[in-house]
Amino acid sequence: MKKNQKGFTLIELLVVIAIIGLLSTLSIVALNQARARSRDARRIADVKQIQTALEMYYNDMGQYPPTAQITAGSAIATGTTIYMDIVPKPPIPADNTNCTGTVAYTYTSGDIGGVTNGTYTLRYCVGNNTGGIPAGINTASPSGIGLRSI
């Protein structure tokens, strides 16, 4: 007499579970890498937006805002003109061990050629090489973005 088998053996079930576990592990690793790249792209976009607001401020005022005026959560504004409503905070985590303790965007104005607040530096950190900008702490200034910090 032959039995009708209508199911899976234990070995078949274990193999399927192992394959599903392997595939889910690989997808989680890929997702984490995509999240890190996304955070870096956001950081660079934030810095470019801050630079644009600073340049508009400079065009109207003939100087950049004082250092104390620009912090995360504040506005880049003068009188009734708002150049950037809220200076963004960078996404966390920092994604780079070289960035420990330097998560925030750091703005510093400086004098140049006799002009008070005639230049600035904006320090930021990216976790991986992104769009030609090296991983680690970088500096943006009126000269450009992605200048390696010393």
Bridge partners (DSSP) listed for residue 110: 119
pLDDT tens for each residue of 40-63? 899 999 999 999 999 999 999 999
What's the pLDDT at 121?
A: 92
The Cα–Cα gap between 18 and 14 comes to 6
Q: Does any domain span residue 1? A: no
Q: Does any domain span residue 44? A: yes
The Cα–Cα gap between 134 and 127 comes to 9
Q: Does any domain span residue 57? A: yes
What's the pLDDT at 147?
A: 66
Tell me how many domains the chain contains. Answer: 1
pLDDT tens for each residue of 106-150? 899 999 888 888 999 999 888 888 888 888 888 999 988 876 655
Q: How is residue 87 written in tokens?
A: 């200076």
Helices (H), the chain: 10-61
Q: What is the domain-level CATH number for residue 66? A: 3.30.700
What's the pLDDT at 141?
A: 92
Which structural domain, as residue segments, surrounds residue 38?
10-148
Bridge partners (DSSP) listed for residue 127: none
